[in-house]
């Protein structure tokens, strides 16, 4: 039984077949739908052959029920579609390549490469979409899969999106036959973010390691309970050990430090374990070459939510250079102190001992002058007068030198001194000069300072004395003020005198240096040298600011006590 449509077609072509034995279906197998008596339909295979009997042609038909085959084919088609839908919907990018070209890409793979349809990539060489850095690897992988049929273990390589941007891809390949071609089934994932994060981390680690090496600072971390300890590369370098051979721990670490410093280190670590915040600890590390490295260690306890110490983190810093220069400085300071003391003693002894013979010369010269004045010729009178004057000047110089050396050798201890009182005393000592010059000296309220009161008086006296001595045409006006600056008092003695040329500002503090002749202004040039020495002995400084013709201001500092 055949369905109506088939029957109609049969009736159209069959008469011609009977005559010629020719027909489209002859010699072929055709799939048809047959109908049973009960009206149900089923698939059949119809094979037709033509046989001639006399003038007529007969058709020999072989009909086979193919219901089971059809069912199997349907099931296969369904399963293939199911499989394809899994691949199409997989979140993971999957593609098939054969002969080095893309043959199939699932939507996730298309998205990965930045394609909107597979026509943009299908049948294109895979290598065109691989970053030059990864081309050698991918070329070799394609060969391995296609020629040897071997799988490729997971890899990370650089690919290119269609817009040219770089993709870091993690993937794996299994050999796969696609539509009869030998190729590979490739599972890939975009790991650009992860790679970037890893690169950033690597860059940060590099930066940390470089900065630690430049600063010669290493760091470490120890878990208190397990004792697990990690060191940075610089920490290993500072202790002169290799990370390949040395396993850092509380015990092994102590063995690296100088035996004399080990007890202190043990105590330090004990305090850490007891949960105390430990102070800095300095220790030495003997190195292979026999030298010693000085290290400053600093640690910090890390506590958990219940405030229990769980970890210690810390840094170790190489302070060898600092210690060496400190030692050198100490040595130099000692040397300097010694030579300074020697010099002071020399100046004192020399000036003190010179006084005696000079007094003799001076008194005999004066005797000579008194007794023989006018009795010898006029030249002799003049010569004797020169000699008397020279001896006087020499005496003055020796006195000055003695006064200068006494600033340190005969100075008194520092006590709290009312600077106002010292100033008052200085002004009392200057009564004659003030009266004579009609000077007006004013001052701000002055603080209590830690000083040698006699020397503070001398300082004020010398500066105010000079302010009066080096006056201009106007009657001298002198003002003493003070200002607190951070850790020191800055005193100023300001005048309206002749001023000092900028090029002489430093010279005037040197012993016996003067800018004028004794005839213009009397003096020996010792005053400011003494003032400078007094200021320095008190831990301060002395300097001047001045404008020729407009007056000068001398400043000196005294440290604020207790700071």
The residue ranges that bind ligand ADP (CB under 6 A) are 466-467, 470, 495, 497-500, 508, 514-516, 523-529, 552
Please give the DSSP secondary-structure letter assigned to residue 26: B
Nearest approach, Cβ of residue 497 and ligand ADP (Å): 4
Tell me if residue 258 falls in helix, strand or coil: coil
Looking up tokens 């005999």, which residue turns up?
364
Are 421 and 456 in contact by the 8 Å Cβ rule? The answer is no
Comparing CA positions, the residue from 228, 241, 205, 226 lying closest to residue 316 is 241
Residue 441 CB, nearest approach to ligand ADP (Å) = 13
Please count the CA atoms within 13 angstroms of the CA of 412 that sit on its side-chain side.
12
Measured from the CB atom, the residue of 129 and 533 that comes closer to ligand ADP is 533
CA angle, 501 as apex, 500 and 504 as ends, to 5°?
A: 90
Nearer to ligand ADP, 220 or 470 (CB): 470
Taking the complex as a whole, the smallest distance from the CB of residue 464 to ligand ADP amounts, in Å, to 9
Q: Shortest distance, CB of residue 456 to ligand ADP, whole angstroms?
A: 17
Q: Which residue pairs from 304-309 have beta carbons closer than 8 angstroms and sit at least 24 positions apart in sequence?
A: 308/275, 309/224, 309/272, 309/275
Q: Answer yes or no: are the C-beta atoms of 88 and 95 closer than 8 Å.
A: no
What are the tokens at 525?
């040039």
If the CB atoms of residues 171 and 525 are measured against ligand ADP, the closer one turns out to be 525
Residue 401 CB, shortest distance to ligand ADP, in Å, is 13
The nearer residue to ligand ADP, 235 or 529, going by C-beta atoms, is 529
**Please, which residue, 217 or 459, has the CB nearer to ligand ADP?**
459
**Beta strands at 440-443 and 477-485: parallel, antiparallel or unpaired:** parallel
What is the rounded CA–CA span in Å between residue 479 and residue 458? 17
Residue 185, helix vs strand vs coil? strand
| Residue number, 235 or 430, with CB nearest to ligand ADP | 430
Would you say 105 or 423 has its CB closer to ligand ADP?
A: 423
Structure-block tokens of residue 332? 């130099």
Q: How far is the CB of 538 from ligand ADP (least distance, A)?
A: 18
User: Which is closer to ligand ADP, CB of 263 or CB of 548?
Assistant: 548
Q: Which CB, 7 or 393, lies closer to ligand ADP?
A: 393
* 427 class by beta-carbon count within 10 Å (0-12 exposed, 13-18 middle, 19+ buried): buried
E strands, 191-270, in order: 217-223, 229-231
* Angstrom distance (rounded) from CA 489 to CA 480: 13
- Least distance from C-beta 468 to ligand ADP, angstroms? 8
Question: Closest distance between ligand ADP and the C-beta of residue 525, in Å?
Answer: 4
Strands (E), 125-270: 152-160, 166-178, 181-190, 217-223, 229-231
Which is nearer to ligand ADP, 253 or 470 (by Cβ)? 470
Residue 159 burial (10 A CB sphere; 0-12, 13-18, 19+): buried
CA separation (Å) from 304 to 261, 307, 309, 312? 31, 5, 6, 12
In this structure, how many other beta carbons lie within 10 angstroms of the beta carbon of residue 142? Answer: 23
d(CA 94, CA 108): 7
Distant-in-sequence, close-in-space partners of 315: CB < 8 Å, separation ≥ 6:
217, 218, 219, 220, 297, 298
Is the CB of 465 or the CB of 540 nearer to ligand ADP?
465
Count of Cβ atoms closer than 10 Å to residue 308 Cβ: 11
Rank residues 297 and 465 by Cβ distance to ligand ADP and give the closer one: 465
CB of 536 to ligand ADP, least distance (A): 15
- Closest to ligand ADP by CB, 348 vs 470, is 470
Min separation Cβ 439 and ligand ADP, Å: 12
Min. distance of Cβ 265 from ligand ADP in angstroms?
57
CA-wise closest residue to 532 among 552, 505, 551, 499: 505
Q: Minimum distance between the CB of residue 264 and ligand ADP, rounded to whole angstroms?
A: 53
**Interatomic CA distance for residues 221 and 316, integer angstroms:** 11
Question: Measured between alpha carbons, how far is 294 from 327 in angstroms, rounded to an integer?
Answer: 12
Distance of CA 150 to the CA centre of its chain: 50
CB of 545: closest distance to ligand ADP in angstroms? 11
């Amino acid at each position: 039984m055949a369905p109506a449509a088939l029957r109609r077609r049969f009736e159209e072509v069959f008469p011609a077949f009977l005559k010629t034995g020719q027909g489209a279906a002859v010699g072929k197998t055709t799939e048809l739908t047959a109908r049973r008596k009960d009206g149900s339909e089923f698939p059949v295979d119809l094979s037709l052959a033509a046989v001639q009997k006399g003038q007529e042609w007969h058709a020999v038909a072989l009909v086979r029920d193919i219901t089971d085959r059809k069912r199997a084919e349907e099931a296969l088609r369904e399963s293939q579609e199911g499989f394809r839908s899994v691949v199409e919907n997989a979140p993971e990018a999957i593609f098939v390549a054969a002969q080095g070209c893309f043959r199939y890409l699932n939507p996730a793979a298309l998205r990965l490469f930045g394609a909107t349809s597979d026509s943009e990539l299908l049948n294109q060489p895979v290598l065109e979409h691989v970053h030059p850095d990864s081309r050698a690897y991918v070329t070799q992988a394609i060969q391995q899969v296609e020629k040897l049929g071997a799988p490729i273990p997971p890899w990370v390589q650089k690919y290119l999106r269609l817009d040219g941007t770089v993709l870091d891809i993690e993937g794996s390949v299994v050999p796969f036959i696609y539509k009869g071609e030998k190729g590979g089934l490739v599972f890939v994932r975009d790991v650009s973010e992860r790679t970037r994060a890893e690169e950033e981390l690597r860059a940060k680690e590099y930066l940390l390691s470089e900065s630690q090496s430049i600063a010669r600072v290493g760091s470490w971390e120890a878990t208190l309970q397990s004792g697990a300890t990690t060191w940075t590369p610089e920490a290993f370098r500072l202790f002169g050990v290799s990370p390949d051979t040395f396993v850092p721990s509380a015990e092994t670490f102590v063995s690296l430090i100088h035996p004399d410093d080990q007890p202190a280190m043990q105590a330090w670590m004990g305090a850490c374990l007891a949960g105390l915040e430990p102070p800095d600890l300095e220790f030495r590390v003997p190195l292979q070459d026999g030298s010693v490295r000085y290290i400053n260690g600093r640690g910090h306890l890390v506590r958990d939510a219940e405030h229990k110490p769980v970890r210690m983190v810390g840094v170790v810093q190489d302070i060898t250079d600092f210690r060496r220069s400190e030692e050198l400085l100490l040595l130099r300071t000692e040397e300097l102190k010694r030579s300074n003391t020697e010099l002071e003693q020399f100046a004192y002894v020399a000036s003190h001992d010179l006084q005696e013979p000079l007094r003799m010369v001076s008194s005999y010269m004066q005797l000579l002058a008194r007794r023989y004045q006018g009795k010898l010729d006029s030249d002799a009178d003049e010569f004797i007068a020169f000699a008397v004057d020279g001896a006087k000047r020499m005496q003055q110089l020796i006195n000055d030198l003695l006064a200068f050396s006494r600033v340190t050798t005969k100075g008194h201890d520092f006590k709290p001194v009312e600077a106002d009182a010292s100033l008052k005393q200085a002004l009392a000592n200057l009564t004659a000069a003030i009266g004579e010059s009609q000077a007006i000296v004013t001052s701000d309220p002055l603080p209590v300072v830690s000083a040698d009161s006699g020397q503070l008086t001398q300082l004020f006296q010398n500066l105010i004395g000079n302010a009066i001595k080096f006056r201009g045409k106007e009657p001298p006006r002198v003002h003493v003020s003070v200002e607190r600056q951070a850790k020191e008092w800055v005193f100023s003695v300001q005048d309206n005198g002749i001023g000092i040329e900028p090029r002489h500002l430093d010279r005037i503090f040197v012993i016996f240096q003067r800018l004028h002749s004794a005839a213009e202004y009397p003096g020996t040039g010792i005053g400011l040298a003494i003032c400078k020495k007094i200021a320095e002995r008190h831990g301060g400084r002395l300097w001047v600011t001045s404008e020729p013709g407009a007056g000068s201001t001398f400043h000196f500092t005294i440290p604020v006590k207790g700071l």
